[in-house]
Structure 1
């Protein structure tokens, strides 16, 4: 990976994505946990309120039933008023937020009052809790709609039961009132969070109390609303819904309170459920985003540095293998390539050719024209050599001083001689003046060796053969190509005429 900058960036992107994925999973679990905690809290509050309300209403109902049983006992109505109140009414009638316990006759007049004697002169025949018992004998316990009492203050509801004569005819009503302030105080003690609500309603959808409290909501009917419809479908349940009163989306937990015609709902606002989660999510995403940005930034910077390093190393390797003056491979690189190609040729049996090239009378050129001109001549000859090798496997190198070497893999002797002659002619066509040479221009001599002509025991023997052919060319008058074994000579003489090859076979 340390040699592949793009891989570094790719791995960094994967790491960043993995961190994002883990953060997303953690936040998703945190969101689910927030919802579960809110649901558990709402359900617990609903159970607490339901049990408290049911217990108090049941106690109040027992008081009503005790009054009915007492009135059915012979002689109770004839007791002195003080004693009669003690027999009929227990101390629950004096509890906070409870009103009076009253006995009404069949006309709706108060005949027995738990508070005072003689009873207050008030007719309550217009109240729904009186009418419902007068009109039906099997109502049982009735919880009234909210009303403003005539005997006390504060919006109240009434719990009532029917009184009957021995023949079953209507004899009146026993009724006890309860201020809605009881539910207001009960709801106020529950902490549900911002935007949450609690509501108590009659089974017919009439609102008795709601938190947050609004006196205008008391007595309002929710009949026909989506949430109320769901309240009536099961004794208890939970769901997400939107309140018809304020349009806020909430998670609802609802319960029917015991055997009473009352429905309680506890609703947690969606924004309240996830408020803390949103705050933590923002912090986590910010940190994860910062970490990912740092990771990717460092990865990009590291990749850039790595690219620079690789480019520098490549350049250094190239410089280490390249002759600075000529741009060809240096001796070290040539030796490595020669060893590699020699082994490959030995394995495959394909021919391998080697050209050894020497600039004729180069010492005299340097002495006559100077070393700067000599360097220019070396560079010019190198260009002629490099421009005449085309295949990727061919290698040209400065072998030493004014001597060059060319490796030609998969090339027989005829092809090698053809390449060598092309190079010799290209140098001659430079027409670079050299008065110390019998040709009066710069020329080269080339020795050629090829593994297709004879077997060589070692690479050194192969190189020596090409070197021997070179000396044969120089000894034969220079400016010519000689192919080993000695005697296979491409002889180009007769200065200043440009030599031509005696033979040239396809490479």
Structure 2
């Protein structure tokens, strides 16, 4: 192998002049990418475009599925609250009482309850209560409408305590997304009837707002049981899905595959890619379809541009290779001639030093090289010393960073564990008590959900600054214990001092008046558990943390925004 390489590089290629080697190399370098790009551009670009569309469309389908589920759950929660209400339970009891007057009053009362519950919801266009026989409890309803609602209830599967959603055609071209829920008496769990709620499709239209995949993609929700398009974007017009799409979804389910991206050929003989996401407890699917020919159109355009650019680069490379070959070969020939003359004993020969390239520098600096070797060595040693000092500073900085929480700037959990162990040992040696505060921001998850994680991070930073400001002694340590939980180690502190400092922290956080709409107080508050004890040889860090943590639990159990002192008996648990 080595002999073959030597033959090519030292034998065959060395027989060719440098300028011709350069010209040939430029041609090969420009032709090879051109050929490869021509052969692979279409396939690779198609794959990249498909992967991009797949990633984005799958994410969009999942997000729409989640948003749809949230909107459906909103209607379900309202219906569940109504089904369990004392007023509706009492009306249903009167309806089945057998007393004609009470039954008639119950029918009227049911209509008022439904109106009171759903009257403020503009997207709910139908609300009816059905009895055990699936007959509408409303004396004023039109018979055809009551019959169609009853048929929906009769076609429903065993609800099993869940809400059931279906597409309901009310006649006159009106279409609703209907929810059916079984109602049971809370006293004996016996069937009491069914709640029917019709929702306008426009209720779900905002889910599709701002969603634009490009490539003539379509997004809609389909019932896989019959192919009916339940909800689609405002630009959609199809009422049923392509049977080929339904077949692909069915095949995916039958083979127990977990793929969320499928390919199929539609009735129009067009190849489609579809991202799918199933809605739990239903036969509905969120589907995003993209025709493959639209993807390939962009791919073909990219391929043609690559080939055109490659041909242009090839033409330019031919010209550049000739110019560059001449600029290298001619000075080298002169330098080789001068070296031959010097080798024959003529040390007065000199090479013309035109230009500023490497060959000119080589001719100019050859005689100076030996004199500057020592200078380069000294400069190298100085650089090594400088880099060593910089590395030491970087190591010290890295060590400090490894003990600091990146978000709040206070000590991290690792630093907290080290300091707590050391302070326990010092407390044993000195005989002075030790205190530990465990602080947790109240209702922080709700704060994050309402205001976003950016606001949540800023809230944690503000709390950390309050803790640092309240811990002014050099021996105190403020650390982020994890999530929204902080800890403060107070060395040489008795119980009264620790409790006072904890109360000051609680008050300082409350006085910040950081708005928190989901907190009973309306502002950000904190709960603090305090562990204050005199350590001995048997005291461990885990015991101290357990005391403070149990106190923190009691503080939250007692209503939050308070300080609770932990019991030393927790050490024995």
- Give the TM bin, normalised by the shorter chain: 0.3 to 0.5
TM-score, normalised to structure 2, is 0.42
Larger Rg: 1
Q: Tell me which protein shows more helix as a share of its residues.
A: 2
TM-score, normalised to structure 1, is 0.47
